[in-house]
Amino acid sequence: MEIKGIITAMVTPFHEDESLDLDSAKKMANWLIEKGVHGLFIAGTNGEFHLLTDDEKVELTKAVKEAANGRVPVIAGAGCCGTKHTIELSKKLKEAGADALSLVTPYYLVPNQEDLYQHFKTIAESVDIPFLLYNIPGQTGCKIEPDTANRLADVKNIIGIKDSGGDFDTQLAYIEISKKKDFIVLNGSDSLMLKAFKAGAAGSVAATSNVIPEIEVELYEDFLKGDLEHAQHQRDLMDPLRMALKKCVAPAVMKQALNMMGVTAGVTRRPVQMPTEEVIQNTKEMLDFYNISYTN
């Protein structure tokens, strides 16, 4: 399946005891697909991948893949700090049914660019599944330089990159690679969504589409039709949600909003805590702005 359009960076539902809620994950995936999103990106930053065990990532992938039932591609986060660990997890996620895997850069340690090249190349050559590189240096402390991405674009199975760096010049450099090679760019900064589509990004992995999928799907459809004025209107509509999400560590506000909307997301895993009463009130005001009904 082609990876393009609005791809939801899906949150991972947990029960009150912080255990994995697979039934709610299936329902959430189905709800998002029915709202029109073009793909699901699971076990990423907003999916609290850093707080999931390998076994939980496998079970989550199986559940979401079952719910998607071939309607949209399911991209699962496989990136770990070590090359060997990432290969082992990638094999398990392929067996679990993922359509593609995302490889975030190693975090805490900071490998150099040749280290990164060898890391990603070795993984891609070890597991026969499409891989997307994942650049998010603000969280990992490690950037995939465009020259490194250009070299990796020649590696079989590396089909593109998700860029959440927020530096549009870097994303433009990735997009230039995509114009010359079989390599796609997925924007990962919601604020840059329309700008990225205009520049040539194939899709946008959007956290905000957990809550307002229709607005972002319409933005993409407007872009395809060439109605850039209305697409910009849709892009501007995203800002109240974007501002609300910054009130807490991700994905606390997102989960609070979804729970209030009747889409069970459950709690965050500690040390991240759910919103305070003050932030909950702000969340209500944000949902009111979108005319989204909710329960207190």
How many other C-beta atoms are found inside a 10 Å radius of the C-beta of residue 200? 15
* 195 touches 232 (CB < 8 A): no
Catalytic residue among 117, 134, 174, 220: 134
How many domains does the chain contain in total? 1
What ranges make up the beta strands (E) of the chain?
A: 5-9, 39-42, 74-77, 100-104, 131-135, 158-163, 184-187, 203-206
Residue at token pair 């520049």:
199
Question: Residue 296 domain-assigned?
Answer: no
Q: Please give the share of the chain, as a percent, with pLDDT higher than 70.
A: 100
pLDDT at 127 over 90: yes
Catalytic residue among 26, 162, 174, 255: 162
Question: Residue 289 domain-assigned?
Answer: no
CATH number of the domain to which 122 belongs: 3.20.20.70
Q: Does 162 participate in catalysis according to the annotation?
A: yes
Q: Per-residue pLDDT tens for 27-78?
A: 999 999 999 999 999 999 999 999 999 999 999 999 999 999 999 999 999 9
Q: What is the pLDDT of residue 1?
A: 85
Question: Residue 162 domain-assigned?
Answer: yes
23 backbone dihedrals φ, ψ, rounded to 5°: -60, -45
Q: What is the pLDDT of residue 156?
A: 95
Average pLDDT over residues 233-251: 98
Question: Residue 68 domain-assigned?
Answer: yes
Question: Residue 196 domain-assigned?
Answer: yes
**What are the C-alpha distances in Å from 284 to residues 59, 209, 256?**
33, 17, 10
Q: Per-residue pLDDT tens for 145-170?
A: 999 999 999 999 999 999 999 999 99
Selection from 170, 174, 193 nearest residue 183 by Cα: 174
Q: How far apart are CA 289 and CA 237, in angstroms?
A: 9
DSSP 46: T
Supply the range of the domain harboring residue 131. Answer: 5-238
pTM of the model: 0.97
Q: Does 107 participate in catalysis according to the annotation?
A: no
Question: Residue 244 domain-assigned?
Answer: no
Question: Residue 293 domain-assigned?
Answer: no
Residue at token pair 């603000």:
138
Q: Per-residue pLDDT tens for 182-229?
A: 999 999 999 999 999 999 999 999 999 999 999 999 999 999 999 999
Q: What is the pLDDT of residue 108?
A: 92
pLDDT at 230 over 90: yes
Question: Residue 217 domain-assigned?
Answer: yes
Q: What is the pLDDT of residue 296?
A: 81
Average pLDDT over residues 70-99: 98
Residue at token pair 């990638």:
90
